[in-house]
Structure 1
Amino acid sequence: MVKKFSIWFMVLLVILLGGCAVKQNDSTSETPVQEQEPGITDDTILIGSNAPLTGPHAAYGACITNLEAYFKKINDEGGINGRKIKLVYYDDAYDASKTVGVMKKLVEQDKVFLTVVQGASPCAAVVDYLAEKNVPMMAITGNSQILTYQNAFEILPNFTTDGTVLAQYAVQKLGAKKIGIWYQNDDYGKEDMEAVKAELKKNGLEPVAAIPYNMSDTDFSIPVMQLKELTPDVVILIPTTKTGSAFMKQAYDLGLKTQFLVSYTSADLSVSTLAGPAAEGAIFAAFFPLLDKDSDPRVKEHKDFVAQYSPDKTPNSFTLYGQLYGEFIAEALKRAGKDLTREKVIEAIESMKNWNEGLAENVSFGPDQHGPGGESLYFIKLENGKFVRIQ
């Protein structure tokens, strides 16, 4: 009898304990622990980027290395809502086919929270992938193609705006009737060139020539001689800084006498160093403060920042890009709050209205406006190796 009672007692005990265990497991399954967003820990925000550190456009790599320097400044000041920013980037040599692999590595292996993508064609090559993965994309470009994507944002003037104002200036301010176009044969150059042609058409004009070049080209004697025969009043250049400088130098050597009007993407004093007297008198679209105007507090602040955090660099338009995007991303993260999600960052950027801090001027976004965040362009002229504002 005692033995039977003991057996039944043990069976009952097992049932009761099993029931508790099941109940405890059920309770756990009802309130799972929420997983952290990719790239976010209690003390770190991981951001990924491509960077043209090698190749013919390696000068643009300073945008990303100076972005990294700006994040160091942010971290030294306490970070964003208790977290430090870490930037990881890989060289893609400004080659869109390589950018695809870089972004996949950043998203799938490094597990970054958001990305910074530099270059018109690199942006176009990866925007679909990043949208599919729901990864926010801060695009260092003026490529209008990406503005319809919910995850992508630009803060630079778009290339359609650039081409439009270049054509307007050529016709309205310079009184040009014969206008040539020399442009980079990629997403950047084509968008800018089409905008120039559209604006000229509004004025009853057609370009005397629209000549493309490839990024690997170094000999521009043929297009120079083609333009020389056409005797244009103005030649609108839509290049990168180094290539545009080489073109002007060869034009000078071959006797092409015309007024050069240049895209804002090449508005950097390195043009004067690279092209020498060939660049004198060239007019550029621009939107950054002139770095030789030390009376501008933004210029002094930028120079002080570069001296402290990027002492191996000379302040230029590329270091300005780095600071501008650093300020932009820091503001977005700050507005998104402590409990960071990618959706909250997107909502935070869309909430920006007339933001004026650091290098930003009246930057606004919205659910249907993902860029450009700022569009104010003016014109500068190279005189005695310095930029002079003319409009």
Structure 2
Amino acid sequence: MLPKNRSPFARGLHTCATAVLALTLPGTAIAQKRYDPGASDTEVRIGHIGPYSGPASAYGTIGKAASAYIAKVNAEGGVHGRRIVLLSVDDGYNPAKTVEQARKLVEQDEVLALFAPLGTAQNLAIQRYMNAKKVPQLFVATGATRFGDAKAFPWTMGWQPTYQDEARIYAQHILATRPNAKVAVLLQNDDFGKDYLKGFLDALGDKAATMVVARASYEVTDATVDSQIIALKASGADVFFNIATPRFAAQAIRKAAETGWRPLQYLASVSIFVQAVLKPAGLDNATGVISASFIRDPDDETLKDTRELADYRTFMQQYYPAGEASDFLNVLGYSTAQTLVQTIRQAGDDLTRENLMRQAANLSMVLPMLHPGIEVKTGPDDYRPIEKVQLVRFNGTRYEAMGRPVGR
């Protein structure tokens, strides 16, 4: 502390020192730019991992659509003058390859965050690594319940509704409309399939033991699910819950029709897609299928004259002309990329991994291609951005909404 009778010169030095200190302390009036690896004055480097090859390659177009949206943002000036560099790599839907790619993106490419890595087993394989490294694992492309646990894994955040919540909605619909149903279930034999099954059985409660008359599982390395469908048909079930990824979901729908089995079908939302699933299965075979959606169908007649659809179709034409605009998967990539861009925008000049995660946990936005009544909303203890779905039924050409969005 300077003496009260210090000279004017000493007082001047103290004033200057105080001013310099104010410029250097955090939280002062003059904000400073802060960067972690992957961010600079000119760019923000983000990693993405998807199955461009392998048994789930139908999902590869999600990454292409997301990359196209990032290209659009960059063409329009980027975010706060910074270009987003999206490094999108292939893991072949193989968890071991996912680990290899995640390590490369984090340790060699030094990305600020991983965005929308796809798959339950794949994200599970890298979750502990990402949290140990304190690198955001943002908007993972899986609805597994474990990817919304803010306390256990504060660096991992989901995006879509959870598989358990979705399955509960199907079970509740069956209980309300077909209380005496005999249900057969096909599921992928991993955490993805088991998560759906748990939500379904929990919602059926005591009735699960009598209503679920058959279950069959498959491995992602299987060639077909033909034998499983034949076994499920033999159970006499009149309701079929299809918990499968696109290739196997399409096989199941087609095989059921070929055998003459015509149950009421509930299709997990991961395979809702008309282009990737229902067309290969046969549109006639898929007529009547019930699923759950949170993104709008580009072929929905009620969207025909809307600004939202016009903007989306213009984007596809200009930035991803090789993609099919009617494909739900491209709407998914478009919408998740919009969420990422908003998160980066909110981070401003504080492009640290910690602040990016903080902004991801402070979202409140309405995306143009989500169903009305469904929004993206998060909080410090709420790592589940989308928590409602719209039940839909396929009419042979497109999906039609059944009631209003339901969920939390």
TM-score between both structures, scaled by the size of structure 1: 0.87
Query: Which residue number corresponds to residue 147 of structure 1?
Result: 148
Residue 187 (structure 1) aligned to one of 186, 191, 195: 191
For residue 158 of structure 1, report the CA deviation from its aligned partner.
0.7
Question: For 2:258 and 2:203, how far apart are their aligned partners in 1?
Answer: 31
Gaps of 5+ in 2: 1-23, 26-32, 404-408
Partner of residue 134, structure 1: 134
Contact 1:53 1:91 in 2 (8 A): yes
Partner of 2:28: none
Aligned 8 A contact 2:50 2:60 in 1: yes
- The count of aligned residue pairs is 359
Q: Which residue of 2 aligns with 1:254?
A: 259
Say if 2:144 and 2:162, in contact at 8 Å, map to a contact too.
Answer: yes
Structure 2 residue 317 is the aligned partner of structure 1 residue 304: no
Pairwise CA distance, 1:121: 1.1
Pairwise CA RMSD of aligned residues? 2.0
| One-letter amino acid of the structure 2 residue matched with residue 94 of structure 1 | Y
Residues 74-132 of structure 1: per-residue CA shift (max 9 Å, x gap):
11111111101001122111111110000000001111011021111111110110011
Cα-to-partner distance string for 1:180-237 (whole Å, 9 max, x where unaligned): 1111112211100111111112556541122111112233232222222211121111
Corresponding position: 1:201 with 2:216: no
Query: Which piece of structure 1 moves more, 296-305 or 65-74?
Result: 296-305
TM-score scaled to structure 2, two decimals?
0.84
Secondary structure, counterpart of 1:89 in structure 2 = strand
Conserved? CA contact 1:48–1:115, under 8 Å:
yes
Q: 1:31-79 deviations in whole A, cap 9, x for unaligned?
A: 9xx9841111220100111110111211101111111111011111111
Higher deviation after alignment, 136-145 or 358-367: 358-367
Q: 1:295 to 1:170 in 2, by over 3 A?
A: farther
When structure 1 is superposed on structure 2, of 127-136 and 360-369 the one drifting more is 360-369
> 1:333 aligns to what?
344
Kindly report structure 1 stretches of 4+ aligned residues shifted beyond 4 Å: 202-206
Partner in structure 2 of residue 352 of structure 1: 363
How many Å separate the matches in 1 of 2:109 and 2:60? 21
- Of 285, 295, 299 in structure 2, the residue corresponding to residue 292 of structure 1 is 299
1:17 counterpart residue number: none
Superposed counterparts of 1:259-274, under 5 Å: 259-270=264-275, 271-274=277-280
144, 161, 166: which one aligns with 1:162:
166
- The answer to whether the 8 A contact 1:184-1:212 is kept is yes
SS of structure 2 residue aligned to 1:153: coil
| CA shift for structure 1 position 175 | 3.9
2:292, 2:175 → 1: CA distance?
15
Q: Is the contact between residue 224 and residue 256 of structure 1 (CA under 8 Å) also seen in structure 2?
A: no
Q: How does 1:29-40 map to 2 (within 5 A)?
A: 36-40=35-39
Show the counterpart of 1:370.
383
Encode CA deviations 1:304-358: one digit per residue, 9 max, x unaligned: 21111100010212111111111111111111111311111111122223x2143
Cα distance change of structure 1 residues 176 and 328 upon mapping to structure 2, 3 Å threshold: farther
Q: Which has the larger radius of gyration?
A: 1
Query: Post-superposition shift, 1:278?
Result: 1.9
Q: 1:47 to 1:379 in 2, by over 3 A?
A: same
